[in-house]
Structure 1
Amino acid sequence: MKCFPIMIRWRFSSVIPLAFLALSVHAEQPAEVPAKTAVDRASVDAAKHTPENSAKQLKVREGLEVRLAAAEPDVVDPVSAAWSTDGKLWVVEMSDYPMPKPGQTERHGRIRVLSDRDASGRFKSSVTFADGLDFATGILPWQNGAIVTLAGEIVYLRDDNGDGQADTREVWFKGFTTGNEQLRANHPRLGPDGWVYVANGLRGGEIIAVDPRFRASKTPLKLQGRDFVFDPHGGEWGTVSGNSQHGLTIDGFNRRFGCSNRNPAIESVLSADVIDRDPFLTPGDAIADVGKSGFNSEVHPISNAWTTSNLHAGQFSAACGVTAPGWAIDDTSEWLLVCEPTGSLVQRQRMHWGNGTWKSEREANEAEWLASSDDWFRAVDLVPDVDGGVLVVDMVRAVIEHPHWAPIELQNRPDTWDGKELGRIWQVHVPNKQIKSVAVRDDASALEAIVSEDLLSRMLASDHLLAHYSPAAPPQANVIDSLARLLSDSAVAGESKARIAMLLNRWGALTPTQHASLLGEQDDRVRALAIKMRQGNRFDGNPVSSTAMLFSAFDDSALIVRQAALETLVASVDASELNDAKISQLVSLAIRDREAPWVLKLLTALPNEFASELLSASLPTPQSRATAVIPTSVFEGWMRRVSAKDPQRATELLVNWLSEAMPTGAAADQATQALVMQMAAAWSKGGGAKGTTSLSKEAADRITALDSLAASIAINDKHAVGTRLDAIEWCRKQPEFATELRALVDKAVDTTVRAAAYRVLMQRDTEWTKQQVLDQAESISPTDRVAVVTAVRGSVQTATWLLTEIGQGNLPRTFVDPSSMDWFRRHSDADLAKLGRETFAPAGDVLEVLREYESAAKEIETADVVQGKALFAQHCANCHRIDEVGHVVGPDISDSRTKTPEALLAAILDPSAAIDASYASYSILTVDGEAVSGLLAGESSDSVTLVIPGGHTRRFEREDIEIFRASSVSLMPEGMQRVMNVEQMRNLIGYLKRWRY
């Protein structure tokens, strides 16, 4: 859930525009952080928010200066900006934010073009390129106009006569989700590889190409969990890894970073085709947080930075506009910037390569890089400026967050649009910097600028050459030759060489000799880029590097290069290229980089034939302990994949290895037992049992021997919990060993192990377990109740038993959680569904229930908060988390301080009244009758992955799914009134309102 500043009282203001006032503020020594005191905002002088007064409240890092570059009326409500190659700044304005006013039909979005910059950096000219736009969110100046992301579309606005105004509007793509104005496709960015990347806004969509210059598609392209990409010259388009909300930055090495509210920097680590080739991976497996996110993040606002969720105070809650401005710290690290508009600040983080991904840490300083005590300062985007400077896009609003996230009583607050006539662009440079405009107007200036020390110059050089030339119409030989000379010049910096290499490769002009020289460059990032290059820079192209080159790169001294080589191999290698030498190299890589998680993930994603041979070559035995340094997770990943693809081969591998790892009659040590159990579990989970139909007696005996091993491990608390869970699951499939698990339902046993044992016992030792549950009815823990209910849902017979016992009063109605109540009421078996409806009959329609419970929202100050906390733990913690209790599956409800008791009561009793699409429930019915509901985490042609209550992830093979459907209702079930009386409801609401105090 996204956060927004809560103002203690409404604010009203008139604004005095100062269009050409030159303003600046120097860093203070040090920047003081004033105490955050409540302010009577109704009495604040309107002049507080003029550019002059706002400038006085800005605090910037020592050694820097912030000055005004543009202000209202030249720019109003800016949300994003980008440079054109002629040195003009194109600004997207969103005056209708957060939504059109009631009754409003016209749209006021604009594209403003700022130019004629003076020595102080102030833009002296501002013209409107296009207006009447429907919530424009991003812009990319392109040729004679601009590519713009609008509500549901990507359009090209073209100036046909050179008057600086758009004459033609071409819709290129449509189908992007438009549900929430804050969650839409945005930030089209031209990568140095020649492709335009677009942040999906988190809600994705089903995309079709409208313009005939792009490849036609018979079916819409689903954008769920991925960002969008297309060739601006026409032809190909598709999806790439990434999942950014508002912001996208691409550096000279083509690294892409996005962001979302609670995630200040997200790297697209793996290419989408790696994910597409492995059914066990989802789009989320391709990305990683660069900066600390969520509760681990840290911001130090100096404004009155109130957030909807009080647990988000002092953390990123609206991160956006992430930018890598190209500021190198040393040979291994650089700076990253990200906006936090809720806190009226911009944070600088030190980014470095570590353990397979880029990582960033907030710089060690109490004050932020840029912050304001004016809580109308709303930095929402960042743009690299000339000579290492940065432009800060300031929307200037009283309320920056969308009312959609607000409690009902705040959704119509009168200051929602306050500040809509304001807007600023601030510039941050070294003090007293004389600004010189940068422009690239022809090929000659582009060739000069691409090797400049100035990042903006290099960016504009790439943009110019990519806009003027395409693979179908490359530049003339003199340009190619000039770039080739620069590429071979040892004095040219690595980032410039990366840009040049991508330009040449884009046009099909990169020679094998040039590519080989890139692999020998001193800069690790250049070598990594070279090894990952695709033909023509196409996201779906074949590698430029041969398989031999990829394997040779495994000997590189830099992890970034070895990982790049492995990623390229996984995305492209064919089984026909397999041989013993390559297997040996991969085993060596697994050992060398055993602490690099992304290398390990890639190793497990190798094609099935590779996984099979890798298992055969590397599984440890008493005679080959050296290979045990490969993490067990890698062996498990290989075994699961081989079992899923070729169960007979997987069974053969397992049996042969067991004969060496656990010779008949020999006692195995605990470590060997654990590894055997983990491998057997991976074999079983992958479907290896399908390969046992023609086993010899000796081989069958090897598999059977695992039964007794599993039983012994399950009850041995010296083994790790994960290993014991694998053993318990194994026992579920072997009924004769299930009774040995009876001891595991003792309260002294680990809760996770106990829950797993209940599930197996209810299925395999049913009568004993039923009696155990009845005997312990009054004392059985909430965790065990969930385990029992989950277990009985495995069959109609046990489910009927449970409902009957509840109906007869032998078990309390509260034994079943509301989610399971819904499951019983909606079961496909008519008799069971009828019994469920009778057992958990609703108390009437919602209005009747609300009337019945309306007193629960009264006199909250008298509620028993202690009992309310216990009720939360019992009924809500499966999907919600407050005060370190519970799981984060559903929305964050820890912000209940801002909600009225009446709103909370309505949300509890009518949870589907206002559901966000992110929390819509998806239901799966398996072929064996299991029904599971959860949030959709990912899907592929082979599988579906859900996040289910409790925070767990479950993956289902499509061949095992009978029904898969999305629900229009919340994952939160209805029927809480059946498990709580009015007084209990008051106590729960009292806890939600008062837990923090």
Structure 2
Amino acid sequence: MRAPIHKLSVSLIVVLVAGCTTYWKQKKAIPTKTTEPQSYSGNAFDEHIRSTEARSPEDERLGFTLPPGFEISLFASEPQIGKPINLAFDARGRLWVTQSVEYPFPAQPGSGHDRLTILEDRDHDGKADVFTPVSDTLNIPIGILPVQDGAVAFSIPNVYKLTDANGDGKTETSRRLLGPFGFKDTHGMVNHLRRGFDGWIHACHGFTNLSKIAGTDGDSITLGSGNTFRFRDDGSRVEQTTMGRVNPFGLTFDDWGYLYSSDCHSSPLYQLIQGAEYPYFGRLPEGIGFAPIMKPHEREATALSGLALSSGTTFPEPYRNSLYMGDVVKCRIYRSTYTFKGSSPVGKMEDDFLRSADPWFRPADVIQGPDGALYIADFYNRIIGHYEVPLDNPGRDHLRGRIWRITYKGQLDKTGQQNWTKASLNELLEGLAAENLSVRMTVGDQLIHRIGKPAIEPVENLLNRRKTTETQYVQGLWVLHQLGALRDETLLKALQHPQALVRTHALRIVREMKTPGKTFYGPSLAGLNDASPHVQRAAVEALATFRDLETVKKLVAFQQTIPAFDTHLAYTTRLCLRNLLREKSLGTQAAAAPWSPSDRVALTESLIGVNTEYASQFLLNTLKSATLPKDTELKMLRQTALYLPPGQRDGLVRFITQKYSGDPGSQYKLFTVIQQSIKQQGGVINESVKQWGTDLAQSLIMPPKPEWTYALEGDLYLKDIPVVIRIPPATTLLSPDIRLFGFDLGGFKGLVKSPVFVAPPSLVFSTVNYNVKTNADPENRVQLRLADETAQVIARQDLPKTNDYQAETISWDLKAHQGKRVYLELVDQSSGLIWVGNFKTNAVQVPAINPKEQGEQQRFAIETAGESGIKGLEPTIQNLLTSPSTPYFIKVASMRALLRLAPDRYTAQAVALLSTESTPLAYRKEIAGMLGEFPLAQTGKVLEEGLKKTTGDIQLELLKALATSPDGKDLIFKQVRSGILYTRILRQPGLEDRLLLNATPRQLSDYKQLTANLSPIDETREALIKDRLAHLDASATGGRQIFIQNCSPCHQINKEGGMIGPQLDGIGSWGSKALATKILDPNRNISEAFRTYTIKLKNGSVKTGLFRREEAASLVYANASGEEFFVPKKDVVETQASKFTLMPDHFGQTIPQEQFNQLLGYLLSVK
């Protein structure tokens, strides 16, 4: 929560002068957006529990809308099927469907009643007429893949091989291939099993769950939420293919062999890079960064399911090679196209492909059938939310389910309707030329798994035939490879094939060989110079299997030729180099080899991801000899600081302090990294680092006067400086090299003012504006004033209201005022934002130093003074604490530092601040909370007195402070018995956990006796929710500012905000009731991914936070402000999982009805 820096009267904001000179501007066109018919969106689609009633399949069908010429028909429905989750076709053209009545609760082992059914359309009328039950004893089955003698399927908790030896569709035997997988969260798990060109089965691993699995070879992998993996169909081996993302639920291949995937939370679409790492909650990128995305999040909700890539010609040209993806919250199917820039796909969101007028439509899977039609698994339901609605809500439907089939004017691929299990060898060879990729893959599997070795010679002959198509050639290569019969001369010929598609796949086969002979080194190397970027990218991956210094040198040289727009090729090259250099012998050799200056710098881009001593030493040596951009230097030094041996730390400190002797800001960034490194390694800060911190504290405690100034409207409690330097949002299409300046995140109203400068003949600059289209908010503006007593406005530009970031170039003719002293003003009067930058003159520029960083540095200096006992800074810190102009977050740091310097002298002053009503509540809560950080022997008496003088939230924070010690617990119980405290206070979130943590048997008995007769508080919360909704005015504006103050430290919307809690893009689809419940009663439904822990340390202190990750010698948590903190493992006495979320539960008291209306109005608009 933010709180006021200082109180400013609205009168402080200078009255705007209307007069202005003539100006000229260039403005980007604002794209027009069509209004969606209310029948496909609106309140009925925003409710987590749909208020409409279920429709019959026919009535639901009548409510669909598709582009002209497309037709939708019912393929199957209840009662023949249950609730479908995943779909897959077999070689006979039959559709396999996993269904669940158990969801969302898993059945007890051995007692599942979920089904796997084969659907068959024998009369080809577009509707299933034969239903063969494969199994009805499964447990929330999701992923399914038919194979030659049965199927591979996931059912809690394993992936099984279901064997059907006689082909009647019934399972004779079931054998575990992989598992057990985690299943504490049942709405993701193992899904979308897809056979790859490589013969492996590829799959997604669902949200939250943690799984450690191994093949029969004993080699194991650990999957934490997100992630994708592949495994052999006999369970002999499993490999992790990507790390990160949140809840991937969809996989599909294209002709090039690229694998695409949808994700429910990070970004909608990805072209996956094998071995890459992608964003995930709380995950920090490694040195080479996260892999690139394919398209940013736009209007999709965060509930994306299934992914199909249309292949063949059954759809008209504009709809071919499109990606189709379901949205189970917004009840529609999206379509995205993409174009290649180099080898990198750039996605473009097209008009929605399918919309439904039925709020129960839940497209859980989308696949293309062998006949060219799209098939949709409709998990038809009143409720789809896993966390938004209690799992046991009786409104969840367990009976209805539909499968829909979409065609274009009835056109079908007749080839795809063939029963390939009966096809002859020659028919299979011709089938490799099918237009539909899924058919070609099926035919290839038949050649491999049914025909086997007798197919080898015919396939080889096919590759030598002049009329063989490129797709036949590609499939033939993979058939031979999987059969272990691909001759070296055949592969060498393919590597020189005239078609880039063939050369690309040939190089992919080289990569799969793992240890290819030197025969293929030259052709793989030649691929780096290929005219096709796809071939180049496949060559990079192939070369990564040749683990020698020569390969490293060639890849380093190639890396410097990659165009900036080919992000996927650039990342793949960095990744492959990093993986090579992580092998100790090769990495050590490369680090010691002679390199040209340019090659040495290029090599650092991959070595920065190698977490070893030899890599850190190489980075440091490069820094000593090369001239690099400052950001690059700092990134390299951060990595060096983390992994350089402790014995070399003093030399690193000397290097940093000498190199940045006049730049304490850069030193500060590196100092914090070294601190982090020491904590991660479980070490102790030595004298040279301590002295460095002391010197920095003295340099940074009083930052220079800012060049640009700001004045806020209103009484806001801030936890940092509200103005910031930023790069442009990606949607503005401005260069990422441009720096913009203005209020942070757009939640603030007021003025931002430039320094005075001499007016040039003209002033040209860029603005980025975000101002929601409402009548309540006035337009933002940017204007130029004379710096004299008149303060006349001589140029002004009003900025339009827009629901998205809008970039403009503004040009003012100032010849009439050239040479006069002027200053620029940003007038932010909305709940949006305005940023300026990209000035085409040296007369004025954005600040050289980010003011927000200066605030962080000052806070660091104060905290360091307290931690290191720098008595000489005590008077300065006292002045900061008492000065009216000091921001409150600096006051909080000052109070904590003074308590550390002299707790006996300053505890009374801290407690006195708690009863000072003129200070903001949030500030006083911060002060109260920090008192728990100090031994009760020093603060106990004063705290006990403070309890008598405080109430509400302040009193609760003091109680939390007392509850960290045995004596404090006893004092609390005593005051409850005496009636000074209400009994229900013992059940307050945050206090209850601390009372019970490390409590003695006697204290536990006291707690049980005191709370035995307390009634549940749910009724009180429910009454509050109903009252707020009864008085809700969702049209209220200004909610973005409320969101910034209360929510953005942990939650992100449109890539802005923290990543501690869930991202909230598309949150408007929740509806008002679900949002109100989550805000006012956040502990009602808690995702395990966001459960908090209470940690008792050896020094007696207690911390509370959300677990983020584990380092070598420390655990990393995040506090309620979204800030990470490290806890050394050796200092932990006890860790206790909380039944409360990190999200504050006091918003019912701290956000009054008017602000609540504004907040909900804003959140409901985020769709």
Q: TM-score, normalised by structure 2?
A: 0.64
Q: Aligned pair 1:764/2:764, yes or no?
A: no
Structure 1 match to 2:402: 423
* More displaced 10-residue stretch of structure 1: 242-251 or 459-468: 459-468
Partner AA of 1:193 in structure 2: D
For residues 96 and 192 of structure 1, do their structure 2 counterparts lie closer, same or farther at Cα, with a shift above 3 Å needed? same
Structure 1 match to 2:1004: none
For residues 377 and 185 of structure 1, do their structure 2 counterparts lie closer, same or farther at Cα, with a shift above 3 Å needed? same
Per-residue CA deviation, residues 156-182 of structure 1 (Å, 9 max, x unaligned), is: 101112223221111223322334542
The answer to whether the 8 A contact 1:257-1:322 is kept is yes
Partner AA of 2:658 in structure 1: S
**Structure 1 SS opposite 2:525:** helix
For residues 237 and 935 of structure 1, do their structure 2 counterparts lie closer, same or farther at Cα, with a shift above 3 Å needed? same
For residues 225 and 794 of structure 1, do their structure 2 counterparts lie closer, same or farther at Cα, with a shift above 3 Å needed? farther
Structure 2 match to 1:11: none
Offset of residue 384 of structure 1 = 3.0
Partner AA of 1:416 in structure 2: D
The answer to whether the 8 A contact 2:250-2:261 is kept is yes
Structure 1 match to 2:970: 834
The answer to whether the 8 A contact 2:72-2:404 is kept is no
Offset of residue 147 of structure 1 = 0.8
Structure 1 match to 2:1135: 965
Q: Distance in 1 between matches of 2:150 and 2:128?
A: 20
The answer to whether the 8 A contact 1:543-1:568 is kept is no
Offset of residue 230 of structure 1 = 2.6
Offset of residue 339 of structure 1 = 0.7
Q: Distance in 1 between matches of 2:629 and 2:511?
A: 45
Q: 1:213-252, aligned counterparts within 5 Å?
A: 214-216=216-218, 221=222, 223-224=224-225, 226-237=227-238, 239-240=240-241, 241-243=243-245, 245=247, 247-252=249-254
Q: Aligned pair 1:338/2:314, yes or no?
A: no
For residues 397 and 636 of structure 1, do their structure 2 counterparts lie closer, same or farther at Cα, with a shift above 3 Å needed? same
Q: Distance in 2 between matches of 1:55 and 1:123?
A: 16
Structure 2 match to 1:5: none
Q: Distance in 2 between matches of 1:195 and 1:357?
A: 24
Q: Distance in 1 between matches of 2:133 and 2:703?
A: 72
Q: Distance in 1 between matches of 2:1090 and 2:267?
A: 19
Q: Aligned pair 1:679/2:846, yes or no?
A: no
Q: Distance in 2 between matches of 1:446 and 1:330?
A: 27
For residues 193 and 180 of structure 1, do their structure 2 counterparts lie closer, same or farther at Cα, with a shift above 3 Å needed? same
Partner AA of 1:563 in structure 2: Y
Structure 2 match to 1:144: 149
Q: 1:186-201, aligned counterparts within 5 Å?
A: 186-201=191-206
Q: Distance in 2 between matches of 1:231 and 1:760?
A: 59
Per-residue CA deviation, residues 712-745 of structure 1 (Å, 9 max, x unaligned), is: 4488796633254245425334432542334444
**Structure 2 SS opposite 1:298:** coil
Offset of residue 474 of structure 1 = 5.3
Partner AA of 2:532 in structure 1: D
Structure 2 match to 1:579: 592
CA RMSD of aligned residues (A): 5.4
Structure 1 match to 2:532: 523
Offset of residue 655 of structure 1 = 0.9
Q: Distance in 1 between matches of 2:288 and 2:620?
A: 26
Q: Aligned pair 1:814/2:953, yes or no?
A: yes
Q: Distance in 2 between matches of 1:458 and 1:842?
A: 70
Q: Distance in 1 between matches of 2:433 and 2:98?
A: 30
Structure 1 match to 2:1106: 935
Sequence identity percentage: 14
Q: 88, 107, 119: which is aligned to 2:113?
A: 107
Q: Distance in 1 between matches of 2:954 and 2:575?
A: 49
Offset of residue 371 of structure 1 = 1.5
Structure 2 match to 1:725: 856
Offset of residue 340 of structure 1 = 0.7
Per-residue CA deviation, residues 402-452 of structure 1 (Å, 9 max, x unaligned), is: 5764269x9123x723xx354223134476445431676688777766676
Structure 2 match to 1:656: 655
Offset of residue 886 of structure 1 = 10
Q: Distance in 2 between matches of 1:555 and 1:916?
A: 45
**Structure 2 SS opposite 1:681:** helix
For residues 63 and 937 of structure 1, do their structure 2 counterparts lie closer, same or farther at Cα, with a shift above 3 Å needed? farther
The answer to whether the 8 A contact 1:82-1:140 is kept is yes
Structure 1 match to 2:774: none
Structure 2 match to 1:490: 498
**Structure 2 SS opposite 1:571:** helix
The answer to whether the 8 A contact 1:147-1:154 is kept is yes
Structure 1 match to 2:877: 741
The answer to whether the 8 A contact 1:191-1:197 is kept is yes
**Structure 2 SS opposite 1:137:** coil
Q: Distance in 2 between matches of 1:919 and 1:678?
A: 29
**Structure 2 SS opposite 1:519:** helix
Q: 479, 496, 501: which is aligned to 2:509?
A: 501
For residues 950 and 274 of structure 1, do their structure 2 counterparts lie closer, same or farther at Cα, with a shift above 3 Å needed? closer
For residues 692 and 495 of structure 1, do their structure 2 counterparts lie closer, same or farther at Cα, with a shift above 3 Å needed? same
Q: Aligned pair 1:58/2:87, yes or no?
A: no
Offset of residue 838 of structure 1 = 5.1
For residues 712 and 824 of structure 1, do their structure 2 counterparts lie closer, same or farther at Cα, with a shift above 3 Å needed? same
Offset of residue 139 of structure 1 = 0.4
The answer to whether the 8 A contact 1:533-1:543 is kept is no
Per-residue CA deviation, residues 481-512 of structure 1 (Å, 9 max, x unaligned), is: 65654443222526962686268637968833
Q: Aligned pair 1:82/2:88, yes or no?
A: yes
Q: Aligned pair 1:347/2:485, yes or no?
A: no
Q: Aligned pair 1:318/2:314, yes or no?
A: no
The answer to whether the 8 A contact 1:92-1:139 is kept is yes
Structure 2 match to 1:3: none
Partner AA of 1:612 in structure 2: Q
The answer to whether the 8 A contact 2:83-2:401 is kept is yes
Structure 1 match to 2:994: none
**Structure 2 SS opposite 1:321:** strand
Q: 389, 403, 407: which is aligned to 1:406?
A: 389
Q: Distance in 2 between matches of 1:846 and 1:915?
A: 25
The answer to whether the 8 A contact 2:101-2:114 is kept is yes
Q: 1:110-189, aligned counterparts within 5 Å?
A: 110-114=116-120, 116=122, 118=124, 125-189=130-194
For residues 637 and 448 of structure 1, do their structure 2 counterparts lie closer, same or farther at Cα, with a shift above 3 Å needed? farther
Q: Aligned pair 1:922/2:1093, yes or no?
A: yes
Offset of residue 150 of structure 1 = 0.6
Partner AA of 2:654 in structure 1: V
For residues 66 and 935 of structure 1, do their structure 2 counterparts lie closer, same or farther at Cα, with a shift above 3 Å needed? same
Q: Aligned pair 1:265/2:269, yes or no?
A: yes
Partner AA of 2:860 in structure 1: E
Partner AA of 2:65 in structure 1: K
Q: Distance in 2 between matches of 1:638 and 1:905?
A: 39
Structure 2 match to 1:311: none
Q: Distance in 2 between matches of 1:284 and 1:798?
A: 49
Q: TM-score, normalised by structure 1?
A: 0.74
Per-residue CA deviation, residues 535-567 of structure 1 (Å, 9 max, x unaligned), is: 89xxxx979993233323312324433321221
Offset of residue 530 of structure 1 = 3.2
> How many residue pairs get matched?
885
Q: Distance in 1 between matches of 2:43 and 2:696?
A: 66
Partner AA of 1:151 in structure 2: I
Q: Distance in 2 between matches of 1:88 and 1:782?
A: 65
**Structure 2 SS opposite 1:176:** coil
For residues 788 and 850 of structure 1, do their structure 2 counterparts lie closer, same or farther at Cα, with a shift above 3 Å needed? same
For residues 613 and 485 of structure 1, do their structure 2 counterparts lie closer, same or farther at Cα, with a shift above 3 Å needed? closer
For residues 824 and 915 of structure 1, do their structure 2 counterparts lie closer, same or farther at Cα, with a shift above 3 Å needed? farther
**Structure 1 SS opposite 2:918:** coil
Offset of residue 231 of structure 1 = 2.5
Q: Distance in 2 between matches of 1:153 and 1:614?
A: 45
Higher relative contact order (CA 8 A, sep 6+): 2
Structure 2 match to 1:16: none
Per-residue CA deviation, residues 727-776 of structure 1 (Å, 9 max, x unaligned), is: 54253344325423344444534455444444434323643575266247
For residues 407 and 67 of structure 1, do their structure 2 counterparts lie closer, same or farther at Cα, with a shift above 3 Å needed? closer
Q: Distance in 2 between matches of 1:405 and 1:944?
A: 29
The answer to whether the 8 A contact 1:394-1:426 is kept is no
The structure with more radius of gyration: 2
Q: Distance in 2 between matches of 1:82 and 1:900?
A: 36
**Structure 2 SS opposite 1:529:** helix
